[in-house]
Chain A
Amino acid sequence: MALNLVLLILLIILALWTVMTTRLVRSVVGLAMTSAILSIIMFRLNSPLAAVFELSVCSGLISVIFVTTVSFTQRLTQDQLINRQKERLGKFWYLPFIVILAGILLSQVKIPLVLTSSSSAYEQDVRNVLWNLRHFDLLGQVVLLLAGAFGVVVLFKEKNQ
């Protein structure tokens, strides 16, 4: 539990850094690191397959997409950067205090947990669940991926001069 707690605190610190930092590229790196820490937590909670997905897709692919998008947008000048830093500091300086206060308040509350579990041995295998029990989800994923691919083709297409 102690290591889990350290990882969770690190997750929150990285999420805060992601939100509060001025440069967008640093935000993206912070997001990738948050995903990496989350994938370690998922490994520790007996979810290796989901953790690998999280690490490769969220920490890798999404970061690449974000960096690509950021590189297409305009770079800030030094004056703009200083102004933006002041603006962000004004808006975000109290977020860590809100988070710490919320954490302390929530740790004082005890909520009774009522969760039931009923799963057969067949339902304990990820392959069985993914391919046999949740095949409608797979169909949805394929449709979404196709929609995403068409979306990229339409949105990233350069105008013919």
Chain B
Amino acid sequence: MNPLFSQLFWPFSIFVILLFIIGLYCILATFNLLRAIIGVEILIKGVTLLIILVGYITGNMALAQTLVITLIVVEVVIMVVAGGVILCIFRHNQTIDTRKLNNLKG
């Protein structure tokens, strides 16, 4: 492992942690389902950056890229299905505000 590469790890990791903070805050603070999905997207961006960073530092770029491609495919499927679910919820309730989605409340 190149020592110059290892110097990159912590500065990049700080930004990955900041992306995690932004994504988690978005999920926790919002009541809009679409915004919650956007928060999940930002979290996934952080994970993508971390995988590429570790692959770059350890020299396993091929494996890192393969994992990122798999991650992107999973991400797309999650987004499409989540979009469909949100649309169904909107058609049934005329809202995607989680405070008003209390049909199952006893």
Please give the residue numbers on chain A whose beta carbons come within 8 Å of chain B beta carbons, in ascending order: 1, 4-5, 8, 11-12, 15-16, 18-19, 24, 27-28, 31, 34-35, 38, 41-42, 45-47, 49-50, 53-54, 57-58, 61-62, 65-66, 68-70, 72-74, 91-92, 95, 98-99, 102-103, 106-107, 110-111, 113, 115-117, 119, 123-126, 128-130, 133-134, 137, 140-141, 144-145, 147-148, 151-152, 154-156
Give 1 or 0 for each of B20-62: 1 = CB within 8 Å of chain A CB. 0111011001101011011101100100110011111111111
Indicate if the CB atoms of B57 and A115 lie closer than 8 Å: yes
Name the contact of B81 in the complex, choosing from A98, A119, A148 (C-beta under 8 A).
A148
Interface SS, A side: helix
Indicate if the CB atoms of A35 and B38 lie closer than 8 Å: no
Question: Please, which residues of chain A bring their CB within 8 A of the CB of B68?
Answer: 42, 47, 50, 53-54
Q: How far is the CB of B76 from chain A (nearest CB, A)?
A: 6
Indicate if the CB atoms of A12 and B15 lie closer than 8 Å: yes
Indicate if the CB atoms of A116 and B58 lie closer than 8 Å: yes
Name the contact of B80 in the complex, choosing from A1, A11, A65 (C-beta under 8 A).
A65
Nearest 4 pairs between A and B by C-beta? A155-B84, A148-B77, A117-B58, A50-B68
Given A24-B35, A73-B96; A49-B29 close (CB under 8 Å): no
Q: How far is the CA of A102 from the CA of B15 in the complex (A)?
A: 10
Q: How far is the CB of A62 from chain B (nearest CB, A)?
A: 5
Looking across the interface, which residue of chain B has its beta carbon closest to that of A143?
A: B77
Question: Please, which residues of chain B bring their CB within 8 A of the CB of A141?
Answer: 70, 73-74
Give 1 or 0 for each of B62-102: 1 = CB within 8 Å of chain A CB. 11111111101111110111011111101000111000000
Question: Please, which residues of chain A bring their CB within 8 A of the CB of B80?
Answer: 65, 148, 151-152
Indicate if the CB atoms of A47 and B52 lie closer than 8 Å: yes
Interface residues of B in 1-23 (CB under 8 A from A): 1, 6, 8-15, 17-19, 21-23
